[in-house]
Amino acid sequence: MSGPAADSEAIDAAMATLDAFMAALNARDEAGVNRAFNFPHVRLASGTVTVWERAGDYRLDAFVARAGDGWRESRWDERRVIHAFADKVHLAVQFSRWRGDGTLIGRYPSVWVVTRQAGKWGVQARSSFAA
């Protein structure tokens, strides 16, 4: 499928995937975060490329260790579609990390790629300026 209707459906699916990821992350739901990804999943950040080959490989304890002192939650600040096709959407996003006392840890511009594999939408790759 291609064309504006396919692009619109893909964008809706990609946004829903991002929402599911953020909800799972903030709930500290490791299985939910893994469900929001497609695998292999790639992250480029801090000069390092990290690849998680299979569902279940992504661990929240590693995220919490790098999220910043006192991390409590993350939020989407911006989400803008760069390109959208029937099975892949590129997004320019910015997210912020927050402490439990309501103070900001930081804001991080990123590029995320959401794909549809075997009918399932998931975040396939992220390139971020976050730690």
- Supply the pLDDT for residue 109: 97
Nearest to 58 by CA among 100, 90, 24: 24
Output phi, psi for 46, to 5 deg.
55, 35
Q: What percent of the chain has pLDDT over 90?
A: 88
The pLDDT value recorded for residue 1 is 43
Give per-residue pLDDT as tens, 61-108.
999 998 988 999 999 999 999 999 999 999 999 999 999 999 999 999
pLDDT, one tens digit per residue, over 3-59 is 555 589 999 999 999 999 999 999 999 999 999 999 999 999 989 999 999 999 999
48 CB-side CA count, 13 A: 5
Task: Give the number of other Cβ atoms within 10 Å of residue 104's Cβ.
Answer: 11
CATH architecture of the domain with residue range 4-128: Roll (3.10)
- Beta-carbon contacts of residue 92 (< 8 Å; ≥ 6 apart): 78, 79, 80, 82, 109, 110, 111
For range 118-127, the mean pLDDT: 97
Residues in the chain: 131
- Please give the share of the chain, as a percent, with pLDDT higher than 70: 95
